[in-house]
Amino acid sequence: MANINFEKAALAVVPAGLRWVIAILLSVFTLFYLLPTSIAIVRKHRTGIVFTINFLFGWTLIGWIVALVMAFGENLKPQNITIVQVVGSDGRTVE
């Protein structure tokens, strides 16, 4: 049986100049695809969920738009809530 090196065979079919074009196009596509995640990282905003939605559902375009909207969305800060319990003069809780 002949020993075939498929990697060399595949590269021999594609000219060197075209390989560079393909590499650049794939790089640009990847950067554009991960744009919502990059924005979330820069804004330090919901990074994990934006990455998950972008990675799993970004290919649907709707998922990519949802991730982009979440990345640009309002950065919600936790609210400090103070609970005050009022006690009457006889020591019972007033409702």
Summarised one tens digit per residue, pLDDT across range 30-49 is 999 999 999 999 988 888 99
pTM: 0.59
The pLDDT score that the predictor gives to residue 91 is 63
Q: How many CA atoms lie within 13 A of 61 on its CB side?
A: 0
Rounded to an integer, what distance in angstroms lies between the CA atom of residue 36 and that of residue 59? 13
List all residues 6 or more positions away from 92 whose beta carbon is below 8 Å from its beta carbon: none
Contact 46, 60 (CB under 8 A): no
The pLDDT score that the predictor gives to residue 45 is 82
Per-residue model confidence as pLDDT tens digits over 1-25: 567 666 666 666 667 788 888 889 9
The pLDDT score that the predictor gives to residue 82 is 81
Contact 93, 85 (CB under 8 A): yes
The torsion angle over the Cα atoms of residues 23, 28, 31 and 35, rounded to 10 degrees, is: -160
